[in-house]
Chains A and B, each alone.
Chain A
Amino acid sequence: DAGVIQSPRHEVTEMGQEVTLRCKPISGHNSLFWYRQTMMRGLELLIYFNNNVPIDDSGMPEDRFSAKMPNASFSTLKIQPSEPRDSAVYFCASSPGTGWYFGPGTRLLVL
């Protein structure tokens, strides 16, 4: 198995631009999570899905952030418009019910 796949691995954009991060979970895992890591706040949960349904989005910072999971093998996290304070590493993780498996992350820099 290839593990959790994220793209792009690095993204540099200018303030105000739309950013879309993508994630392919491990096949057969029914839960998917988006996390953000910053020096100030550490690893924090943004949103998670169970069987493609958003369950808890209380960690999404504001309306500029949105996430979708149109099917069991794909999820997106979109930031529109992006701001410099969104600069962070964004991780996607999936779980079959026991254990969590993280992707390599997307390093986002908003100038």
Chain B
Amino acid sequence: GIQVEQSPPDLILQEGANSTLRCNFSDSVNNLQWFHQNPWGQLINLFYIPSGTKQNGRLSATTVATERYSLLYISSSQTTDSGVYFCAVEGGRRALTFGSGTRLQVQP
């Protein structure tokens, strides 16, 4: 099946810093979605982005499907951004395959 690799696995930032999270996938995909799992365990939709670039406030994402990667940018990070960020892709089957996540800790 399709493999999804996320980097870095762990990231510690000071409040106000910027960061870039990366997602590589092993095969062509139909869809790609970024999620934030907050400290309470909820999976929150960030972006549905099979290709192109989207922005939502301090967050933006870019997917280059032909090169099999996606990037999530977090600017001016806040403590509430802490949690785990997951990239998930839909390959040959309808369901999502998840990466192992990037654990982000934003310190005040």
Contact = CB atoms under 8 A, between A and B. Distances in A.
B106 to A, nearest CB: 22
Main secondary structure of the interface of A (DSSP, over half): strand
Contacts of A44: 98
A55 B95 CA distance: 10
Interface in A28-58: 31, 33, 42-45, 48, 50, 55-56
Nearest to A47: B95
Interface stretch (B18-26, B37-45, B73-81): B37-45
A38 B35 CA distance: 17
Most B-side CB within 10 Å, residue of A33, A45, A50, A55: A45
Interface of A: 31, 33, 42-45, 48, 50, 55-56, 89, 91, 93, 95, 98-102, 104-105, 107
B95 A45 contact: yes
Contacts of A101: 45
Contacts of B86: 43
A56 B93 contact: yes
21 contacts: A42-B100, A43-B86, A43-B88, A45-B95, A45-B96, A50-B94, A55-B93, A95-B94, A98-B48, A99-B45, A99-B48, A100-B33, A100-B88, A100-B96, A101-B45, A102-B35, A102-B42, A102-B45, A105-B42, A105-B43, A107-B41
A91 B43 contact: yes
B67 to A, nearest CB: 22
Given A42-B101, A55-B93, A105-B43, 12 more contacts: A42-B100, A43-B98, A45-B97, A48-B95, A95-B94, A98-B48, A99-B48, A100-B45, A101-B45, A102-B42, A105-B41, A105-B42
